[in-house]
Chain A
Amino acid sequence: MPMKIENGPFWKRVEENLQNDFMREAVAGMQDRGYVRRLGVIEELGHWEEWRSLAEQIRKHTLENLDYYLMQLSENVAKRGGHVFFAQTAEEANDYIRRVALEKQAKKIVKSKSMVTEEINLNPVLEAIGCQVVETDLGEYILQIDDHDPPSHIVGPALHKNKEQIRDVFQRKLGYTKSSDPVELARHAREMLRRDYLTADIGITGCNFAIAESGSITLVTNEGNADLVTALPKTQITVMGMERIVPTFEEMEVLVSMLTRSAVGQKLTSYITVLTGPRDEGDADGPEEFHLVIVDNGRSSILGTEFQPILQCIRCAACVNVCPVYRHIGGHSYGSIYSGPIGAVLSPLLGGYDDYKELPYASSLCAACTEACPVKIPLHELLIKHRQIIVEREGKAPVAEKLAMKAFRLGTASSPLYRFGTKFAPSAFAPFVEDGRITKGPGPLKAWTESREFPAPSKERFRDWFRDRQKGGNPL
């Protein structure tokens, strides 16, 4: 699955999803439960704002010295006998991984933490050379066997499906015969997946944080599948976005704590796995061969721009979990595997404005995302920056809006014009006013009055009242 989800134009996606009562209920339930849980673990930790500042500082420092830390990481991976490949594009990354698979004559590949490999659209490349590719994160597994249904949340990709729907998929695709009880469903998936781990030739994972000082990679999971993916197959390939790196274990510990608290409201996840290169002599398990693929794919062109803070992201989805727009339209409306506020900022940067020009506007700028972000990315401000670029550089703003803003500039940049323009507002609106309100507005008011009344302008502006009052010297 590539970053872009091919499911029609923005408004078609939104209209469809607004009709999807089940999805909306699932998202609202997740958000409401998650909100309470997250506040709980934040409170329990204490000094949350100071932790956020520290986490932000760590991310900023790392990005400012990214070349240094990436070099250190790759040297340390090589020292431990691993191979490092820097991929500038998705194609280069896919090509490298394909060559490894061919060389190993791989028939079966198991995967975990697949977000970045979805971004680069790896699976079809491997399937084209005859590999069977199995996603092992439960959510990803469900989507994969359901004919590659796209993910709708960066942490809970199958959030939009309920247990009955999952049972139906299992029945259809896996010959499952039991109930929709989540325990039974999970047990069945586990039985299926165990066979795959044991027979896979290659394990492919993403990476939560690479650690420069040791050449290690960290994986944060609740299901334990990443451990099997990295421990059993003879060859392991880790694919990481080039910014997913920390200097030392010390920073990793801070960020993991921020990640698990922000993502799922847990102090820690069930598994936090740190892997360093291939199996050493005397190790009980681990791969014989280790490859680290570091993916740029548009990231380095974000470095040094006003959008650099988006690279601070640790993919916790806290912003998604508090977003009131995501709440109603769900992940698929974003047309990208990256949804919610992080997706609205990142997708146009990685995928261009042609495909994602509506996303920066799919926000009321309520700043719930900015407030929730554990690494202090000013998400709502970055959305405004996108809007600015769409207006100034891309020239993609609607003509009516441009005219309105010209009028705004004229009307607000000097006081006589403002006073003149607004004096006639009551008479200009008069034909549309009934009972002191406007029910069917003209021009840009039309969209407002589709669902709401618009107030009629006051006959006397506040400023007129104030002036008269001063002149008359009327007491209260």
Chain B
Amino acid sequence: MKVSLFVTCLIDLFYTNAGKATVELLERLGCEVDFPEAQTCCGQPAYNSGYVKEAKEAMKQMMRAFAHADYVVTPSGSCAAMVKEYPHLFHGDPEWEEEAKRLAAKTYELTQFLVDVLKVEDVGASLHGRATYHTSCHMTRLLGVKEAPLCLLKNVKGLELVPLPNAHQCCGFGGTFSVKMGPISEQMVDEKIGHIEEVDADYLIGADCGCLMNIGGRIERLGKPIRVMHIAEVLNQRK
């Protein structure tokens, strides 16, 4: 199966290991991975800030970049949810509406793709330790992917998965919210870290680098002994 990777700007520039793990994981599961070089960003930073025109230019670039893809897979629930919004945003635009629908229909978040399309629940990964999973808001509420990541993590050998208290609550990232409303965002992430500590987790696993950058950045600042990992990295661990 040929899969086109939409790696997201955060992974392209900062969290390259999550991108590498995604490629290796998909290849191990028999996919041929292609990386369309023309991709940039899904447009969300501009869209969520109210810069719709600017966002739409980025979105058009996305549609051009993935025009020939069969499946578009992305290791981010939030970016996948943004792409799923394209048909709504380009509704009534004769040039782009159909393209937007096509891209939205063939775009999958990584764990959703593994479970729903590849029908794999055990990827043969192993990682030793106690972990908890952060359900990012856009992935669960906007994209509706709730079970797939947990299903995959439950089958990771050696990993003790414990539920995160108040898991439904936002970590305080929210894109530009984290800088515009810094003091509020800080309180939110501190509450999240409090819950992670409550369950005594060695690992905090997530499927969105935005949330992980926020939670991880705060954990680092506070010097907490919690390792933050993208789910692709966990699923790509072999021992």
A residues apposed to B, CB below 8 Å: 14-15, 18, 32, 35, 322, 324-325, 327-329, 361-368, 370-371, 384, 386-392, 397, 401, 405-406, 408-409, 411-415, 418-419, 422, 425, 437, 439, 444-445, 447-448, 450-458, 460-463, 465-467, 476
17 contacts between A and B (CB under 8 A): A328-B187, A361-B180, A361-B181, A364-B188, A365-B175, A367-B141, A368-B169, A392-B52, A405-B46, A415-B38, A437-B220, A447-B182, A451-B186, A453-B216, A462-B12, A462-B16, A476-B24
A288 to B141, CA, bound (A): 51
Residues in B neighbouring A386, C-beta threshold 8 A: 50
B37-74: CB near A (< 8 Å → 1, else 0) gives: 11111010111111111100110110001000000000
A365 to B136, CA, bound (A): 12
State whether A412 and B180 are in contact (beta carbons under 8 Å apart), knowing that A366-B174, A392-B50 are contacts in the complex: no
Min Cβ gap A386→B in Å is 8
Min Cβ gap B223→A in Å is 10
B57–A448 touching, CB < 8 Å:
no
- Looking at A362, A465, A466, the one whose CB has the most chain B CB atoms below 10 A away is A466
A409–B50 touching, CB < 8 Å:
no
State whether A409 and B49 are in contact (beta carbons under 8 Å apart), knowing that A444-B179, A462-B20 are contacts in the complex: no
Residues in B neighbouring A455, C-beta threshold 8 A: 14-15, 213, 216-217
A458–B24 touching, CB < 8 Å:
no
Secondary structure call for the B interface: helix
State whether A384 and B45 are in contact (beta carbons under 8 Å apart), knowing that A325-B184, A364-B170, A463-B35 are contacts in the complex: no
B58–A408 touching, CB < 8 Å:
yes
State whether A454 and B58 are in contact (beta carbons under 8 Å apart), knowing that A391-B50, A408-B51, A425-B13 are contacts in the complex: no
A452 to B13, CA, bound (A): 18
| Complex partner residue of B182 from A409, A413, A451, CB under 8 angstroms | A451
B164-186: CB near A (< 8 Å → 1, else 0) gives: 00101110111111111111111
**10 further A-B pairs in the complex, CB-CB below 8 A; given A329-B184, A451-B186, A453-B220:** A324-B170, A325-B188, A327-B169, A328-B187, A365-B174, A368-B141, A370-B141, A413-B58, A453-B218, A466-B23
Residues in B neighbouring A461, C-beta threshold 8 A: 12-13, 16
Q: How large is the interface on B (under 10, 10 to 19, 20 to 34, 35 or more residues)?
A: 35 or more
A460–B16 touching, CB < 8 Å:
yes
A-B complex: 6 closest residue pairs judged by Cβ atoms: A364-B174, A387-B50, A452-B217, A366-B170, A413-B57, A412-B58
A327 to B166, CA, bound (A): 13
| B19: interface (CB < 8 Å) | yes
A60 to B47, CA, bound (A): 27
Residues in B neighbouring A412, C-beta threshold 8 A: 9, 40-41, 43, 46, 57-58, 61
Residues in A neighbouring B185, C-beta threshold 8 A: 364, 451
